[in-house]
Amino acid sequence: MPASLRFETVRFAYREAPVFDALELALAAGEVTAVLGPNGTGKTTLIRLAAGSLRPGAGRVLLEGRDLASIPAAARARAVAVVPQESRPAFDFTAREVVRMGRAPHLGLLGIETRRDVEVVDESMRRTAVSDLSDRPFLDLSGGERQRVIVARALAQEPALLLLDEPTAFLDLRHRLLLYDLLTRLNRDTGLTLLIASHDLDLAARFADRIVLLHSGKVAADGPPTEVLTPEHLRQVYGVEAEVRVDASTGRPHVIPLSPAE
């Protein structure tokens, strides 16, 4: 299956602070990929490069074989959706109004909704279980409810690729699990390609098909969770000694941090 997203020798720096140096990475359509790494290792920058909101200093980011920089913004928004860490609209829209914003790339110059636009919004809210929140002010919602509404907004874009930047950063454990369960169902039911930047090693190991471990601007490890989350890789990237156990019921690794590495 051809890669839906590819980073080719990508270099990027914030002024004089380099982030990536000749980064190479490819995502196949339908994959669930988690990007892990310490603070400052470039996870959010990777998401922004993949979304086209940042451009490489050198190299290319390709979306289905096309240079992302050459794709018009509206066409890019129809193919790629982003769920940020936190979203605070400037005005207190209702939950449904926030989800409707996801249809913007599909509307004509007059911005008039069609029956199909309404149907897509309804279906996106149904899939994310927020239909009952339709008329509630977004800012009155709990953290978990807000995040599901933002995912619904992203689904309303009907993207092929969904980018999520620390989507569980402000959620409690229950809502973290609920969100990852939702993302897994979406991937299974629709074939949506997911790229998730995360700090949560165990949740990433449980739900992702593949883990990319970033360190010093490069990919330190890339593969199935059991191959990437090893004591050696955790020592190299995070500077910690850790025990890694395999959950007998899932076959997925579970990381137990022990101490800072000497």
Mean pLDDT per 10-residue section of the chain, whose length is 262 residues: 81 92 93 94 96 95 94 92 83 93 85 90 94 95 91 94 91 88 91 94 94 94 96 96 93 94 84
- Residue 16 is part of which domain span? 3-260
State how far the alpha carbon of 145 is from the alpha carbons of 72, 119, 125, 173, in Å: 32, 21, 11, 14
Question: Which residues lie across from 12 on neighbouring strands?
Answer: 20
Q: What is residue 3's predicted lDDT score, i.e. its pLDDT?
A: 56
pTM of the model: 0.92
Which pLDDT score is estimated for 169?
Answer: 83
pLDDT, residue 1, reads 42
What CATH number is given to the structural domain containing 9?
3.40.50.300
Split into its structural domains, the chain has a count of 1
Q: 32-59: buried (b, 16+ CB within 10 Å) or exposed (e) per residue?
A: bbbbbbbeebbbbbbbbbbbbebebeeb
